[in-house]
Amino acid sequence: MNRRNLVLSALASGLAPAATIASQRQEKGEWSRFFKEADAEGSIVVLDARSPSHTEYVCNAVRAERRYSPASTFKIPHSLFALDAGLLRDEFQLVPWDGVKRSVEAWNADQNLRSAMRNSTVWVYERFAKELGDARETTYMRKLAYGNAVATGEKPFWVEGDLAISSFEQIAFLQKLYRNQLPFKVEHQRLVKDVMVSEAGFDWILRAKTGWTGKIGWWVGWVEWASGPVFFALNIDTPNRLGDLAKRQSITRHILRAIKALPEPS
């Protein structure tokens, strides 16, 4: 097996030593310039696990400790719930469209897990939530220690309701998913990681998910390298609504490139 195949095999496995190494936290005040240049208010946590001594960087730690609605980043654990409950067999099973025309054209068709994640198809996950019920959703979230683990308030509870999670908690959840250490079947964890793939290069893979409540925008995930993963969780205010959404990825990409965790664009 050549070097490239070895690297990709290691990345695809998503495995790491079971023991979690305590990370060293560093405040990165200089990263605030990326937010200022984008005219955005927000915070980011980056955990660089490419070396034995993990380093956790944070810009605006006070905000990073604060819990916000996860919005569509909740589709990551929600997909695990649907698979575990048998609502989905795999990434190919069709979820039939109900025929209701919605504002996002890509939503107006039958979906599967891959398209629902890629298009962030809200109605698919609303259907999962209805079939699971609030009590079961809450049980699943408590098993994961996912934020405040509540399914109360307006629906969908992960956008309009009371569910809330901090950036640090997002990082903790993502680490467990990367290592297949969540209380779900390993094959389900690997499947969810597969549908999270956003980009890939010769020796790296980016797995991530956006989220937006209308007021708060998220981008969370990690970049896999042969030397280890680099996790990130960014959230920003979005007073300009759709006009602010591109800033989620733009700011994060600048920061990841600053620590050589993401290649420069071609």
State the Cα–Cα distance between residues 192 and 217, nearest whole angstrom: 21
Is 51 part of the annotated catalytic residue set? no
Alpha-helical runs (H) found in 179-245: 186-195
Task: With residue 46 as reference, give the H or E element that holds it.
Answer: strand 42-48
Q: How many CA atoms lie within 13 A of 255 on its CB side?
A: 34
The 3-state DSSP class for residue 55 equals strand
Residue 246 in contact with residue 62, Cβ under 8 Å?
no
Alpha-helical runs (H) found in 38-74: 61-65
Q: How many CA atoms lie within 13 A of 182 on its CB side?
A: 31
Alpha-helical runs (H) found in 85-235: 113-118, 122-132, 134-144, 167-178, 186-195
**Sign of the CA dihedral running 114, 120, 124, 127:** positive
User: Smallest Cα–Cα separation from 206: which of 167, 178, 237?
Assistant: 178
State the Cα–Cα distance between residues 251 and 40, nearest whole angstrom: 9
The 3-state DSSP class for residue 142 equals helix
Active-site entry in 43, 69, 72, 79: 72
Task: Give how far the C-alpha of residue 29 lies from the chain's centroid of Cα atoms, to the nearest Å.
Answer: 24
Question: Would you name the residues annotated as active-site residues?
Answer: 72
